[in-house]
Amino acid sequence: MEQEEDDLLNFDSSNQPDDDFGEVIQDWAVVAQKYQGKKRNTVPKRGVKDAEPLAQESTTYDERMLSEARNTMYEALSKTRRVPVPGNGSMDPLTIRYDRQTGEFYMTQPKGKFLETLGKTDRDGKTVWMFPEEAVFLVERGSCIAKYSDDDSHVLSLEELYSMAFANPGDYEKFMCYSHLKRCGYTIQRHAEYDEMIPLVTEVMVPVLSTKRFQLGHLANYLTRSLSWFRRLILPLVDRIGLFCFNGGLSRYPLLHPQHFEFSRYFRYSSMFSQLQTVFLRPSSHQEVQANQQTKYRICFNIWKPTPGFRKKSPPVPDFQVCVIDVNSTNFPSFEEVRSLLGRCDSHTVKKVERTSVATGPDDFKLKYGEKHILICIIDQGVMNFVRLNDSSFASEGLIWQDQWLQKKKFAPRKGGRKNRRKQ
């Protein structure tokens, strides 16, 4: 069941084994084919575990397959990397200019579908300004060529572009993240924190478990369930009076006294739990998190799933926000850092599919995916991985135990109580 839910929601769909990284091993034969126009041998595929260390009994068959595939890779790599320039012939290739004085990338006479989501267009529509990662991405995938703004004869090589675009430490890692997500089809733009200040103070909502609402919710449940009006009135009353007389004001043995349970009268387990919660649950409140200006965890990019009609001038709230870090110099963020990040980000978790069946337990989606989330792109010497962190609050789901579990007859699924509480 859980599996189906995941599929519907497209989050980490768990029917796929998690060790398939969602990425495919590079098949060099495809690349080699581009140059030679003929299909080459590929490494026989079955599972990742098929490749074991070459051992004594390994066959010439295995070795031949392996060396052929390896040669294909070398061959593909040995070719000069040509950037296929569009508009060969009659049309001029699309050109990005690099201004050596200001270090800016721009494009005059802007053309190309990619500009729908990329770059910043001047008011007159004649110039599009680009961030370095945008310019390099376009050149790398062969959509444009790049030239100096004051030299029309020289087409910049990728090496030249890289050295100019990624001058600061961390720039290249951010570009890796950018181009990976771009190639996956996402729309992606710089976030203000990429190179600006971080807002000083963020207010973080700490969800509260309100005992009062909790009790009323249960009372309401009880009311809807009871059959006769008399029962409806009397039983909760008895329960309340009993709770007061025996466990509260009049009891000789208050909660946490060793004899408390021996001399107390509880009619329902939920009453016991609400007593325990007075001891073990902290009422929380709004809290301010000071942002550390020197933090390594800056939100670098806003990310949108592919959406038709995306307008780069007035983009909607991003679906994801990512913070790019280098594993070897940056640890897992502390709790304060995570809270600050979640407080600063504005991408909300969207629940795609409303539950069709009436919820009888806690809202697992909310517990699992929270209300706000942040992606962290961790880069370990060129290997990229994404981690999604989100808030969650088990306390705000209230009591998980349901007294009706003890009753023999079947009840209509509970409704009302919990949901209403959440809205308040």
Partner 1 sequence: MSLMEIIAQNLVHFHLWTSIQTFPKSSAKGTPHGVVRGVPPKKLSETTSISSTGETESSTTDKPDGDTSEEWVLPLSISDKLTVENIEQIFESIRSVGSYRPKRIIAGLLDDDGSVVYYFIHDGLVKPRS
Partner 2 sequence: MTTTVSDRIRLRGKKHQMLPVDTVDLSCFVPHNPVSWAVCLYKVYAGAVPVLPTVRFESGNFFAADWASINKLWRRGFYGKGTLSRSEPSWFNRTKRRLRLDEGTELSSEEIIAQRRHQREEFKRQRQELDALERRYKLEEDSANLARVEKLRHALTETKGRHARSSTPVEEVEIRPEDDVLIQEGKLQNIEVLQLSHTETLFLKLIGCIDIQSEDGPVGLKTAWMQILGLEFTSEDSRLLRFIAYAHYRSLGWCVRSGLKFASDFLLYQRGPPFQHAKYTLRVCGVKEGSMSWIRYSGINRVVSGVKKTMVLSYVTSEWNENEFESIREQMECCSDDHEFALLVADLVSHYRVDEVVYHRWVANRNRE
Residues that bind partner 1 (CB under 8 A): 49, 52-57
For residue 224, give the H/E element and its range: helix 211-225
- Name the token pair of 378: 């961790």
All residues at 6 or more sequence positions from 60 whose CB lies less than 8 Å from its CB, including other chains: none
> From partner 1, partner 2, none, which one binds at residue 76 (CB under 5 to 8 Å depending on kind)?
none
In the complex, least distance from residue 18 CB atom to partner 2, rounded to whole angstroms: 5
Characterise 147 by phi-psi region: left (phi > 0), alpha (psi -120 to 50), beta (else). beta
From the list partner 1, partner 2, none, partner contacted by residue 244 (C-beta under 5 to 8 A by kind): none
When CB distances are held under 5 to 8 angstroms depending on the partner's kind, the choice from partner 1, partner 2, none that residue 266 binds is: partner 2
CB of 160 to partner 2, least distance (A): 29
Cβ 352 vs Cβ 330: under 8 Å: no
Q: What minimum distance in Å lies between the beta carbon of 31 and partner 1? A: 30
Closer Cβ to partner 2, 314 or 406, answer by number: 406
Q: Which is nearer to partner 2, 125 or 258 (CB)?
A: 258
CB of 3 to partner 1, least distance (A): 25
Task: Please give the Cα distance from 354 to 246 (Å, whole number).
Answer: 43
Packed helices 60-78 and 28-36: angle between N→C axes, nearest 10 degrees: 60
3 binds, among partner 1, partner 2, none (CB under 5 to 8 A by kind): partner 2
CB of 50: closest distance to partner 1 in angstroms? 9
Rounded to the nearest whole angstrom, what is the least distance from the CB of residue 90 to partner 2 in the complex?
A: 36
CA gap 292, 139 in Å, rounded: 36
Residue 256 burial (10 A CB sphere; 0-12, 13-18, 19+): exposed
Residue 56 binds which one of partner 2, partner 1, none, with CB within 5 to 8 A depending on kind?
Answer: partner 1
Select the binding partner of residue 405 from partner 2, partner 1, none (C-beta < 5 to 8 A, by kind).
partner 2
Q: Distance between terminal CA atoms of the chain?
A: 30
85 contacts which partner out of partner 1, partner 2, none, CB within 5 to 8 A by kind?
A: none
- Phi, psi of 359, rounded to the nearest 5 degrees: -65, 135
Indicate the residue among 36 and 330 with the shorter CB distance to partner 2.
Answer: 330
Q: Give least dist CB 46 to partner 1, A.
A: 11
Closer to partner 1 by Cβ: residue 62 or 171: 62
> Which residues, listed in sequence order, are joined to residue 216 by a DSSP beta bridge?
none
Bridge partners of 378? 325, 385
Cβ neighbours for 215, distance < 8 A, ≥ 6 positions apart: 274
| Minimum separation from the CB atom of position 52 to partner 1 (A) | 6
* C-alpha–C-alpha distance, residues 283 and 369, integer Å: 23
Question: CB-wise, 59 or 329, nearer to partner 1?
Answer: 59
**Closest CB to partner 1 among 48 and 245?**
48
Burial class (CB in 10 A: 0-12, 13-18, 19+), 127: middle
Q: How far is the CB of 195 from partner 2 (least distance, A)?
A: 24
Q: Which does 395 bind (CB under 5 to 8 A by kind): partner 1, partner 2, none?
A: partner 2
Give the residue with the Cβ less far from partner 2, 217 or 398: 398
Q: Which is nearer to partner 1, 67 or 334 (CB)?
A: 67
In angstroms, the CA 73 to CA 137 distance is 24
Distance of closest approach, residue 48 Cβ to partner 1, in angstroms:
10
Strands 95-99 and 145-148 turn out to be: parallel
Out of partner 1, partner 2, none, what residue 336 binds, judged by CB under 5 to 8 A for its kind, is: partner 2
Coil, helix or strand for 12?
coil
The closest alpha carbon to 421, from 199, 188, 208, belongs to 208
Write out the E strands in 137-241: 145-148, 151-155, 187-190, 201-204
Kindly state the tokens that stand for 43: 């490494």
Residue with smaller CB distance to partner 2, 171 or 371: 371
From the list 321, 341, 320, the residue with the least C-alpha distance to 330 is 341
Contact of 371 with 348, CB cutoff 8 Å: yes
Nearer to partner 1, 45 or 352 (CB): 45
